[in-house]
Every structure is written in structure tokens, then in C-alpha cells.
Amino acid sequence: MTKNLEIATLGGGCFWCTEAIFQRVEGVESVVSGYAGDTEETANYQQVCSGMTKHAEVVQVAFDPEVITYEEVLEIFFATHDPTTPNRQGNDVGPQYRSVIFYHNEEQRQIAQKVKEGVAPQIWDAPIVTEISPLDEFFGGEAYHQNYYNNVGVRNPYCSFVITPKVNKFKKKFADKLKK
């Protein structure tokens, strides 16, 4: 039997961090790191990291809406990155690290706006700066960026000091949403 999966495209800073979180969510079938917000010609790590493109580092999350809803995906998104700092997540600075939801249809846009206005302010004291924009096109990232945290983990200091605490926070806060 084929599942009817939905897709969420989310930018919450470094795509390694966001990917690591959503790979652990029950109902998520796949997570692909990549870029959205600009052209194919500028969709590569070197150009995006320069901060001179309009791309954001994003993940595309394919999920089973019978297991986890889009609204629940967005609740996890808002709880696991800082949506109050424009163009920044921790030490990662630049427009490529902005908080952004690229919606795929009008229903997703409406849900994203509802969660941004209703749920996110319950988590964060400062104003929410998350951009909500239509997805024009998603460009998958380079192969070495895929499944990065699971493949590299503690061998990379960035993973140890930045991603591991985020994953641990997610596991504690969303224990009921963890893959079995």
C-alpha cells in the first residue's frame, strides 16, 4: 500500500541541524538537505555560504499526515530553532540561515501563518521573524550534506557542540514524537 506523503520545506539555520531533528520524528519518511529561494545556478554550497544568493539552507521533510500533521511538523520546527533572530542561528550568520517556511499550497500557507502567530509566541518571548514564502523550487544539496549528523556525528566539533544539544532538547521535549 502506498502512503500519501506530504512535503514541508523548512529553513531553520544550518540544514545539518534541521535534518538531524526531523530524521528522528515518527511519521517522517525522508529528509533531504538543500536550498530554496533563488535559481538553480546559485544552488550550491559555496555560493549559498557566501551569503550573496537569495537561497536559504533548507530541508524537505516528507511525512505521513496520518501519523504527524503539518501543524505538528511546524510546532517542532519552531521549538527547535530560534525564529526570533533575523539571518542568524547561533554562530551561523547570513541570509542563508534565516528562519523560513516555504509553503507548497494555500492550506500550508494558512497553517504556517496560524502556527507562527499562535504557537510560536507561546515558545518565544521576542517577536517571530520567520518568513513565510511560496516555494518556487527546491534544489537538493550536495551528497556529502545528506544525512550529515548521522554519518559524521561527534567526529565534527560543530555537530558535538551545536547539533547534539539541539537533538537532545528535541528528544526531551517531544519524546512522544520520536521514532520507535
Q: Is the pLDDT of residue 71 over 90?
A: yes
Q: Residue 93 above 90 pLDDT?
A: yes
pLDDT number for residue 175: 96
| pLDDT score recorded for residue 101 | 98
81: confidence class by pLDDT, cuts 50, 70, 90: very high
pLDDT score of 2:
60
pLDDT score at 27: 97
* CA gap 177, 118 in Å, rounded: 21
How much of the chain exceeds pLDDT 70, in percent?
A: 99
Contact yes or no for 25/64 (Cβ under 8 A): no
In angstroms and rounded to an integer, the radius of gyration of the C-alpha atoms of the chain is 15
pLDDT digits (tens, 9 = 90+) for 12-50: 999 999 999 999 999 999 999 999 999 999 999 999 999
Average pLDDT, the chain: 95
Tell me what pLDDT residue 1 has: 55
Report if pTM > 0.85: yes
Confidence of residue 90 (pLDDT cuts 50, 70, 90): confident
Q: Which of 14, 17, 49, 159 is catalytic?
A: 14
CA distance 64 to 2: 11
- Give the integer Cα–Cα distance in Å for 81 and 6: 22
Q: Tell me the pLDDT band of 112, cut-offs 50, 70 and 90.
A: very high
pLDDT of the residue at 144: 93
Query: Kind of pairing, strands 131-134 and 92-93?
Result: unpaired
For this structure, is 14 an active site residue? Answer: yes
The angle formed by the CA atoms of residues 165, 166 and 169, to the nearest 5 degrees, is 85
The C-alpha atoms of residue 99 and residue 123 are separated, in whole angstroms, by 15
What domains lie within the chain, and their CATH numbers?
A: 6-177 (3.30.1060.10)
116-166 pLDDT, tens digit each: 999 999 999 999 999 999 999 999 999 999 999 999 887 888 888 889 999
